[in-house]
Structure 1
Amino acid sequence: MLSRAPNLHGQTVTQDELWVLQLEKLIVNSIINPLTAILRCKNGELFLDKKGVLAELIKVLLLEASNVLQVLLNDRSTNAILKPTPGEATLSTKGELDSKHIHQRRDLLNRFSQSQLMEMLYTVGHKVRENTSSMLQDVRAGKQTEIDEFNGWLVETAGYLNDDLDVTHHRILVDLVHNGNVLDEESLVEYFPCLKSSNTVAV
């Protein structure tokens, strides 16, 4: 198996953990990629001022993403992913399984909270601060971006789960990238509703 191959530093993960890791990666991509593409900046420039305009926008984008993921966790479509493994089903009673998976979902709700996603994002952002995002590379090369796979997925999933889920700022990001807009930090205020208000969004 690849996870056992020397020098690859691989590890074996369960189906549900792989799903969670993929969602976390998607959230990181949905923030860093479009913002760097619009602002034409390196990854690290997004995280320089934790009290500035970008920090406020990132906070709201993470809140919208968190709300989508938390509703998704409680949707029946995730049952097949979060179901017991064959080993668990063999070794545990139904009551033990029910208790375990209640706790699992509770842990995932916390893992997908705005605050936890923010901590993860800033950690990753620091590690890749000197890098140029793939989306910025694509727009510079005149190639099609993955904005629909990242932010577009969040918008579509929100619509599938609950029409009341607010993903306004992710929808705006999709439009800006599709339209090829190039902005500076000050001009973001003209496009994003959260930046026109002095109220701080938090959970």
Structure 2
Amino acid sequence: MKYVFNTLFLTALLLTFTACSDDDESPSTGSNGDDTGHGGSASFTVSGDLEGEHTGIADFRAFEINGIHTWDITLIDQNPITFNISFAQTGGESIDAPTVGVYPLEVSQDENVYLTTYEHFDGNPFQGETYTAGIDGTSGVMEITTSTESLIEGTFSFTAARFEDGQIVGSIEVTNGEFSAVPRP
């Protein structure tokens, strides 16, 4: 179990660091809500260890690194970066885009289950606190309502826990989540 958790946790960290893009070349929606033309959008409310209503951008992509295939939907704000939510599937073979339907948000490598992480940044975009759905009794659900090559839309809600030094040290609840994701440039 520890090996599976560590593998999934490292995958989540990999996704977090590869999800960042060059701010100078990618228009975005800042934490103040100004639309600068990215095309994707996201909004949600968080409570628990963290509190607030957030908006940002949303995009999706499929990629492969060292034989590990990943399909990822990323929600992030910019200017400054305060959160990064990743919904990811990983596997040994190519993964298709999700179809319209309901998907569990858990720590699992089962097909049609999304590993979900919420990363909170407080001033330093390279030192975030990561909360993961599916550990310590937490879980969630994502409903895809539109799925095309150029647009994926849906809703989500989940609870997530923060794991540090072998112990659970905090938890959050994310509600009223909505996204309209476009392909990552």
Q: TM-score, normalised by structure 2?
A: 0.22
Greater relative contact order (Cα < 8 A, sep 6+): 1
More helix by share: 1
Q: Which has the larger radius of gyration?
A: 1
Q: TM-score, normalised by structure 1?
A: 0.21
More strand by share: 2
